[in-house]
């Protein structure tokens, strides 16, 4: 290395493993997926000619494309509202000053240590109409007459999956919101109490506005994660019943490894990537604005 | 007295939620040793379901070994690369430094699934298809944004005087890293290692796409396959046993390192 100081050369040397990993396993695949989306790309060797824009039109023409987009958006909205609402309730419940807060915090977080695939397999057993306990509990309580098929109808399959995801992630988002709660100075609460503000007023006027950056961060993570949902539906519903729970990422997986059409799958990937980058950019702007206020 | 009464609703709500959060875990552990028709544990309680798992396809030990190899390789790679990278980003100036750091963080912006399809093709060209090493390299790459960020912060928190005194004693940068800096950044390394382990041990979609040989499947993939292969007669018992085997290391590690993990997480979030 000529023209570089010995110290710069050293720094470059220490950064080399990072550079190699980023180039080979991130940049190269990114270029490759762009190239694949423009070419005919069967799973096994074969014609690799240009296939533009057929990959893209094939991707959006698929009968499952728009239903998958609609379903993914619906799922994202429901999960985000329920998950963030519950996470906020949990964070407020287990703030530092409460008795046994540490114990409850650990309990709520515990499902977060499991993998999503493990949690999905667990709930698959829990929801089973034959061996799962939920159905018989509901029957014994007299709420239902027949065994409940938690994954049997499109609506129940969606809600059952939402319940699993909320159970798995609520503790994790609770942690992020707790960090935000701890940043709010105690004096503000005391001053508000001196002025005779009610609990609801304190929550609406102090807690919520000052928690906005943390809420924005959880929102970003939750929306991105939900739009890319895969494991839970692959394991719990397999996209059923009647393809009613096929998400966009599942569609990519099916196109690539069941219909063996990597070009179309790559085109779908590029579409998802573009939408997410746009969405993240928008949310980052919101995040920054929330930070400034 | 009125204070205690005031706390009752809190304990009812928090306790009720705690029961809901714990119930699935406790039920699964109990169900895995309970009798169910159509499983190896027909009635009573015992380890029949675990015996089914032990002998399923390539065998539980093989899958545990695969998962252990992938997790160990991923943790080692992530720690090694982010230790050197964090050192470089925190302490040196070199051409392309900011670009490389931004590119590393950009990994976060690209959806997992979007990269796995070209990675499947690319690993084939590198003769790393269907290999645990290839899978570990991919998993380590996905850990890099968090790991590099965390290690850079850790190094920046160490006073420069500490390594300068090592230089005076005749150490090179590598010597200073090994003797002086390594102990100072250990908390960061533990957090990064725990994250990398949990991610590698639990990952499902990367092995689903990159590993085609059932002999090489890590445990989550094997347990999911166990459930899918048995058409008609589904072995819930063995699946529940599989979930226990998958969950126990994660829960134990979390409970052991909980204090540290929470602290690392909170300080990271505060600075980020």
Write out pLDDT tens, residues A168-203.
999 999 988 988 888 888 888 889 989 988 888 888
Chain A residues in contact with B17 (beta carbon < 8 A): 90, 93, 104, 108
- Dihedral class, residue A196 (left if φ above 0, else alpha if ψ from -120 to 50, else beta): left
Query: What gap in Å lies between CA A256 and CA A253, rounded to an integer?
Result: 5
B256 touches chain A (CB under 8 A): no
User: What percent of chain A stands above pLDDT 70?
Assistant: 96
Q: How many helices (DSSP H) and strands (DSSP E) are in chain B? A: 13, 0
Chain B residues in contact with A128 (beta carbon < 8 A): 236
Of B242, B253, B234, B221, the closest CA to residue B31 belongs to B242
Number of Cβ within a 10 Å radius of residue B121: 18
What integer pLDDT is reported at residue B144 of this predicted model?
96
In B, minimum Cα distance to A252 occurs at: B113
Of B230, B253, B252, the closest CA to residue B53 belongs to B230
Backbone angles phi, psi at A261, to 5 degrees: -120, 80
- Rounded alpha-carbon distances, angstroms, from residue A207 to A36, A189, B35: 49, 9, 50
B205 touches chain A (CB under 8 A): yes
Number of Cβ within a 10 Å radius of residue A3: 6
Q: Tokens 């919520």 correspond to what residue?
A: A208
**Contact between A249 and A272 (Cβ < 8 Å):** yes
Chain A residues in contact with B205 (beta carbon < 8 A): 230-231, 234, 253
Shortest Cα distance from A30 to chain B (angstroms)? 7
Write out pLDDT tens, residues B152-167.
988 998 888 888 888 8
- 3-class secondary-structure state, position B24: helix
- Dihedral class, residue A100 (left if φ above 0, else alpha if ψ from -120 to 50, else beta): left
In B, minimum Cα distance to A164 occurs at: B24
Q: Examine the pLDDT at B3 and tell me if it is beyond 60.
A: no
What integer pLDDT is reported at residue A274 of this predicted model?
92
ipTM at complex level: 0.88
What integer pLDDT is reported at residue A273 of this predicted model?
92
Partnered with residue A39 across adjacent β-strands are A50
Write out pLDDT tens, residues A60-72.
888 899 999 999 9
Partnered with residue B45 across adjacent β-strands are B34
Q: Examine the pLDDT at B218 and tell me if it is beyond 70.
A: yes
What integer pLDDT is reported at residue B272 of this predicted model?
37
- 3-class secondary-structure state, position A50: strand
What's the number of CA atoms in the CB half-sphere (13 Å) around residue A199? 1
How many beta-carbon contacts under 8 Å exist across A and B? 253
Q: Examine the pLDDT at A162 and tell me if it is beyond 90.
A: yes
What integer pLDDT is reported at residue B1 of this predicted model?
40
When the pLDDT of each residue in chain A is averaged and rounded to a whole number, the result is 88
Q: Examine the pLDDT at B131 and tell me if it is beyond 80.
A: yes
Cβ–Cβ of A116/B204 closer than 8 Å? yes
Q: Is the dihedral of CA B90, B94, B98, B101 positive or negative?
A: negative
């Amino acid at each position: 290395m000529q023209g570089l100081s010995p110290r710069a050369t050293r720094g470059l040397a220490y950064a080399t493993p990072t550079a190699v990993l980023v180039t080979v396993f991130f940049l190269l695949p990114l270029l490759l997926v762009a190239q694949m989306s423009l070419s005919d790309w069967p799973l096994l060797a074969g014609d690799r000619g240009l296939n533009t824009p057929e990959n893209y039109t094939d991707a959006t023409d698929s009968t499952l494309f728009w239903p998958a987009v609609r379903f993914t958006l619906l799922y994202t909205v429901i999960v985000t509202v329920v998950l963030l609402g519950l996470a906020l309730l949990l964070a407020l419940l287990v703030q530092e000053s409460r008795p046994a807060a540490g114990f409850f915090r650990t309990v709520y977080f515990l499902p977060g240590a499991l993998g999503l695939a493990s949690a999905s397999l667990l709930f698959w057993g829990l929801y089973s109409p034959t061996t799962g306990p939920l159905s018989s509990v509901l029957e014994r309580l007299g709420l239902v007459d027949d065994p409940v098929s938690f994954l049997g109808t499109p609506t129940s399959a969606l809600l059952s999956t939402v319940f699993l995801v909320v159970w798995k992630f609520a503790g994790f988002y609770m942690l992020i919101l707790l960090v935000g709660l701890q940043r709010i100075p105690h004096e503000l609460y005391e001053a508000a109490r001196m002025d005779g503000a009610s609990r609801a007023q304190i929550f609406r006027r102090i807690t919520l506005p000052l928690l906005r950056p943390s809420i924005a961060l959880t929102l970003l993570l939750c929306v991105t994660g939900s739009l890319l949902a895969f494991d839970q539906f692959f394991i719990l519903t397999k996209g059923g019943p009647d393809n009613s729970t096929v998400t966009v990422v599942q569609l990519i997986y099916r196109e690539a490894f069941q219909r063996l059409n990597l070009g179309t799958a790559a085109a779908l990937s590029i579409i998802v990537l573009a939408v997410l980058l746009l969405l993240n950019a928008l949310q980052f702007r919101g995040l920054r604005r929330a930070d400034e206020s | 007295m009125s204070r205690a009464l005031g706390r009752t609703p809190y304990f009812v709500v928090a306790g009720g939620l705690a029961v809901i959060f714990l119930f699935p875990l406790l039920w699964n552990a109990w169900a895995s040793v309970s009798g169910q028709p159509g499983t190896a544990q027909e009635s009573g309680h015992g380890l029949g379901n675990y015996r089914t798992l032990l002998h399923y396809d390539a065998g539980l030990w093989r899958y545990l070994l695969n998962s252990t190899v992938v997790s160990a390789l991923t943790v080692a790679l992530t720690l090694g690369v982010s230790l050197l990278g964090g050192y470089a980003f925190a302490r040196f100036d070199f051409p392309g430094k900011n670009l490389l750091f931004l590119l590393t963080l950009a990994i976060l912006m690209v959806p997992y699934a979007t990269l796995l399809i070209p990675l499947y093709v690319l690993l084939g060209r590198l003769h790393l298809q269907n290999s645990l090493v290839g899978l570990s390299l991919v998993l380590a790459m996905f850990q890099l944004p968090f790991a590099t960020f965390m290690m850079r912060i850790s190094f920046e928190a160490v006073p420069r005087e500490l390594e300068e005194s090592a230089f005076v004693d005749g150490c090179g940068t590598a010597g200073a890293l090994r003797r002086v800096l390594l102990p100072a950044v250990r908390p960061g390394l533990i957090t990064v290692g725990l994250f990398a382990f949990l991610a590698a041990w639990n990952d499902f979609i990367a092995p689903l796409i990159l590993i085609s040989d059932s002999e090489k499947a890590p445990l989550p993939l094997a347990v999911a396959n166990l459930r899918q292969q048995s058409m008609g007669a589904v072995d819930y018992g063995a699946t529940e046993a599989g979930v226990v085997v998958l969950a126990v290391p994660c829960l134990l590690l979390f409970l052991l390192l909980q204090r540290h993990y929470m602290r690392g997480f909170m300080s990271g979030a505060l600075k980020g």
